[in-house]
């Protein structure tokens, strides 16, 4: 017969956990809506900046690109990867999917004879790759609740320094794009050197119809714009990651609350059956005792 006290204690424990998961679900739900607004508002601005930089880069000659350090391509011996994870867990498979893809990318690079180096954002990625003993150029943890442009500037500056001082020959950024409340996608994109995303045919058409002039000079204009462009890319990646994390946490806590409710219902049935069996046994013993006295 099941132990009634043990079942009762377990039901009480699960109810306490259910209250916590329900509270975390409500907190995540209130935050994710504000995060979603920030992401949706930032996308048009980021897209316009990317289009502008794309047009500027596609109008340059190869010799001009080599004069700009952040656009200079060289033989790839080491690749830096900016991995944007979260500080906290309890958000389902959000960090797991990201880290799995990062590990696959690291193995691909090592198989090709290229040295991978990481810039980790968030405790989860930092702790994992520390244990994996993969070189970490710099780590950023204790992230603010709302992504800040100051943090984006620090991450972008760290990546620029690693690229300019020759520590890495190429930098990629890996994060998550917020698709919906139930879905996010892990992506990997080139960060440095800066390249044009436009097709060659479009680029040639623009060159034939117009010529881009930089005043006062090419170095001055792009020297000021490109660091701001990189900071914006990082900032937008942080916004997307924050929104994806909150949505994943809301869904995970919702599922945990639902599972706790189902488990409580099952244990309550087991408890009632055990209690009924115990009462029946006691009655049988009493009746048996009375009969014996007769």
- Tell me the catalytic residues: 91
Task: Output helix, strand, coil percentages for the chain, rounded to the nearest 5.
Answer: 65, 15, 20
Q: What is the CA radius of gyration of the chain?
A: 29
Give the relative orientation of helices 149-164 and 218-293 as an angle to the nearest 10 degrees.
120
Query: For 115, which DSSP code?
Result: E
Tokens of 202: 């479009």
**Cβ-based burial of 3 (10 A; exposed 0-12, middle 13-18, buried ≥19):** exposed
Smallest CA-to-CA distance from 196 within 80, 41, 68 is with 68
Answer whether the bond into residue 45 is a cis peptide, omega within 30°.
no
């Amino acid at each position: 017969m099941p132990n009634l006290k043990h079942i009762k204690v377990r039901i009480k424990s699960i109810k306490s956990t259910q209250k916590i998961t329900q509270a975390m679900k409500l907190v995540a739900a209130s935050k994710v809506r504000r995060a979603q607004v920030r992401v949706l508002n930032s996308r048009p601005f980021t897209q316009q900046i990317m289009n502008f930089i794309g047009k500027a880069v596609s109008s340059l000659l190869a010799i001009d690109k080599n004069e700009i350090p952040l656009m200079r391509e060289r033989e790839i011996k080491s690749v830096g990867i900016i991995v944007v994870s979260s500080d906290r867990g309890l958000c389902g498979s959000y960090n797991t999917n990201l880290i799995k893809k990062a590990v696959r990318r690291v193995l691909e690079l090592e198989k090709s004879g290229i040295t991978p180096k990481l810039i980790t954002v968030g405790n989860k990625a930092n702790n994992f790759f520390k244990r994996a003993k993969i070189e970490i150029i710099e780590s950023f943890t204790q992230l603010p609740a709302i992504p800040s442009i100051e943090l984006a500037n620090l991450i972008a500056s760290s990546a620029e320094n690693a690229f300019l001082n020759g520590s890495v020959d190429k930098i990629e950024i890996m994060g998550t794009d917020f698709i919906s409340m139930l879905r996010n996608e892990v992506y990997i994109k080139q960060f440095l050197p800066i390249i044009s995303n436009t097709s060659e045919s479009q680029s040639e058409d623009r060159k034939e119809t117009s010529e881009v002039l930089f005043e006062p000079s090419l170095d001055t204009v792009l020297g000021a714009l490109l660091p701001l462009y990189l900071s914006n890319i990082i900032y937008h990646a942080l916004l997307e990651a924050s929104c994806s994390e909150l949505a994943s946490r809301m869904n995970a806590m919702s599922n945990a609350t639902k599972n706790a409710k189902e488990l409580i219902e099952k244990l309550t049935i087991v408890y009632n059956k055990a209690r009924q069996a115990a009462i029946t046994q006691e009655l049988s013993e009493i009746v048996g005792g009375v009969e014996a006295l007769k």
